[in-house]
Structure 1
Amino acid sequence: MKELTDERLMAEVAGGRLDNLKILFERHHVHVYNFLYKMSRDRMLSEDITQDVFYKLMKYRGSYNGGNFVSWMFTIARNNLKTHYRRNHADNEDLSVLEYRVTDNDEEKTEDYSHLQKALAKLDASDRELLVMNRFQEIKYAELAEITGSTPGAVKTKVSRALKKLKTVYFENI
């Protein structure tokens, strides 16, 4: 079973073989959690939404149309995070901006990444999201295009521009 592609496993889940969802969970829950954590900086929220993503994969398995599984899964993760912020931060005018928190916990601070985390926090949510998915989660441009509803060329350009912004912000205070 482990040699089956994600798409084949999800097709089987959609067909009623729910036990295959365990394999998909084992393959991808860390990636989903890491993406959500890098966007929200909230461990408990990231754990909750990660569980909800896999619950929704099971609940809406009939809507899986055989496309790229990772793109579909990350689209669900993005939408869940946005929904959370929309519901719980209703006083914010700009719902597209996801809060990016830099924590003060000693265990989470490392010399190597604290400056990078602060620089990421200064970027727009859309730029930060693209960089996290592309550079940290290693999602390819074609998959990012599916997730964001864009074209691979446009995503590549956006990632390049976001990297330039990050570089400027990163080296501002060194």
Structure 2
Amino acid sequence: MKNLTDEELMILVSNGNLDVMSILFERYHIKIFNFLLKMTRDREISQDITQEVFYKAIKYRSSYKKGKFSSWIYTIARNIFSDHYQSQKTVAQRFENIEYKIEQKEQDHIEIKETSEELYRALNQLSKTDKELVVMNRYQGIKYQEIAEITGSTAGAVKTKVHRAIHKLKDHYLQNI
């Protein structure tokens, strides 16, 4: 079973073989969690949403249409993340409520952590869409074509949007330091 592609495994799941979902979970839960952690900066919320992603993948398995599995699962993650934060009034309030949880283990890491915080602050100054694109492409390493499938766009448009978002991020970062 582990030799099968993600898509072949998901077809088995959609046909009722729910035990196979454990293989897909093993392949994707860390990637989904890391994506959500970059978006929320909160481990507990990211863990909760990751669990919900796989719960919904099982619940709505019949909606899987034999496309690229990773695009389908990231779309679910994006939608749940979006729903989670739409309950709050404004984007500014959403990110004000997120606690910064950075552990300090050694004195040498202070500069790296400060840079990381500045980068995160700059990332939070981007629109939700720009932030999402930067996180998916630069932090998660998702290719433009796959992001296009996830967002319902074209690879060329995604490439342009990512490029523009990176320039905005750079401008915000330089303003903060």
Q: Given the two structures, how large is their TM-score scaled by the length of structure 1?
A: 0.89
Q: Tell me if the contact between 2:41 and 2:101 (Cα under 8 Å) persists in the aligned partners.
A: no
Distance 1:49 1:151 in 2: 27
Runs of 4+ residues deviating >2 angstroms: 97-106, 108-112
Amino acid at match of 2:50: T
Return the match for 2:94 from 80, 90, 99. 99
Deviation of 1:100 after TM superposition, in Å, equals 3.6
SS in 1 for 2:66: coil
In 1: Cα distance, 2:126 partner to 2:90 partner: 18
**Residue pair 1:41, 1:100 contacting (<8 A) in 2 also:** no
Residue in 2 aligned with 1:57? 57
CA distance in 2, matches of 1:147, 1:154: 13
1:44 maps to which residue?
44
**1:129 to 1:159, Cα distance in 2 relative to 1, 3 A:** same
Structure-to-structure mapping, 1:74-93, within 5 angstroms: 74-87=74-87, 89=88, 92=89
Q: Which residue of 2 aligns with 1:29?
A: 29
Structure 2: which 5+ runs fail to align? 105-109
Q: What is the distance in 1 between the residues matched to 2:172 and 2:134? A: 14
| Partners of 1:12 and 1:61 in 2: CA distance | 10
Amino acid at match of 1:99: R
Deviation (angstroms), 1:113: 1.6
Percent identity at matched positions? 54
Unaligned runs of 5+ in 1: none
What is the deviation of 1:105? 3.2
- Say if 2:118 and 2:176, in contact at 8 Å, map to a contact too: no
Q: Deviations over 1:55-76 (max 9, x none)?
A: 1111111110000111110111
Partner of 2:172 in structure 1? 169
Corresponding letter in the other structure for 1:59? K
Residue 141 of structure 1: which of 130, 139, 144 is its match? 144
Tell me how far apart the structure 1 counterparts of residues 100 and 85 of structure 2 sit (CA, whole Å). 21
RMSD value over aligned CA atoms?
A: 2.0
Question: Which of 126, 132, 144 lines up with 1:129 in the alignment?
Answer: 132
Deviation at 1:112, TM superposition (A): 4.3
Task: Tell whether the 8 Å contact from 2:2 to 2:23 is kept in structure 1 after alignment.
Answer: yes
Distance 1:173 1:93, change over 3 A: closer
Q: Secondary structure at the match of 1:99?
A: helix
- C-alpha contact (below 8 Å) 2:42/2:101 kept by paired residues: no
Amino acid at match of 2:52: D
Paired letter, 2:67? G
Tell me the distance in 2 between the aligned counterparts of 1:104 and 1:61.
35
Higher helix share: 2
